[in-house]
Amino acid sequence: MLFEKGRTLKQFIKYISVGLLNTIIGLSVIFFCMKILHFTYIVSNIIGYSVGLINSFIWNKIWTFGSKGNTGIETAKFLLVFGISYTIQLGALIFIKEIMNIIPEIAQILSVGVYTITSFILNKFFTFRK
């Protein structure tokens, strides 16, 4: 069965844990690049997010979803899911801020929730589907 409540909840908790680890790693890399290597904030951001995305793929493939699928295909799917999830998150952010008239800080937090749920579902049922 594709959707088992207990298993899906465990995977979602692992997914959130990986996301927190990605945040720590990504910010650490960003600040290291800016403060130690003296890269611009834009280059630092690109490098930090890239490292976080690689970390996310590896941990979610192996630990969260336990996938043994083709790494090349799953990488392409993972990047596609990232793009889709980010686009949906950005749309939600604009909707929450502009239409619902919620302050930007709260809109950011709420849209991160949209991103997390969207990317989890797409990764579970598309990227790392067994």
Per-residue model confidence as pLDDT tens digits over 32-64: 999 999 999 999 999 999 999 999 999 999 999
Whether residue 2 sits in one domain with residue 60:
yes
Whether residue 50 sits in one domain with residue 26:
yes
Whether residue 49 sits in one domain with residue 3:
yes
Whether residue 42 sits in one domain with residue 85:
no
Whether residue 50 sits in one domain with residue 77:
no
Q: Provide the CB-side half-sphere exposure for 51 (13 A, CA).
A: 18
**pLDDT tens digits for range 67-122:** 999 999 999 999 999 999 999 999 999 999 999 999 999 999 999 999 999 999 99
pTM for this predicted structure: 0.87
Interhelix angle 104-122/71-94, rounded to 10 degrees, is 150
Residue type, 123: N
Cα 14 to Cα 55: distance, rounded to the nearest angstrom: 13
Domain housing 52: 1-66
Whether residue 113 sits in one domain with residue 89:
yes
Which pLDDT value is given to residue 2?
52
pLDDT bracket for residue 65 (50, 70, 90): very high
What's the total number of domains in the chain? 2
Whether residue 80 sits in one domain with residue 26:
no
Whether residue 37 sits in one domain with residue 26:
yes
State the average pLDDT over residues 13-41: 95
Cα 121 vs. chain centroid, distance in angstroms? Answer: 11
Whether residue 62 sits in one domain with residue 3:
yes
Q: How many other β-carbons are positioned within 10 Å of the β-carbon of residue 43?
A: 13
Whether residue 80 sits in one domain with residue 57:
no
Answer yes or no: is pLDDT of 3 > 70.
no
Whether residue 106 sits in one domain with residue 86:
yes
Helices (H), 1-130: 5-35, 41-59, 71-94, 104-122
Whether residue 7 sits in one domain with residue 44:
yes
Which pLDDT value is given to residue 6?
85
Please, which residues have CB within 8 angstroms of residue 78's CB and are 6 or more apart in sequence? Answer: 57, 60, 61, 123, 127
Answer yes or no: is pLDDT of 5 > 60.
yes
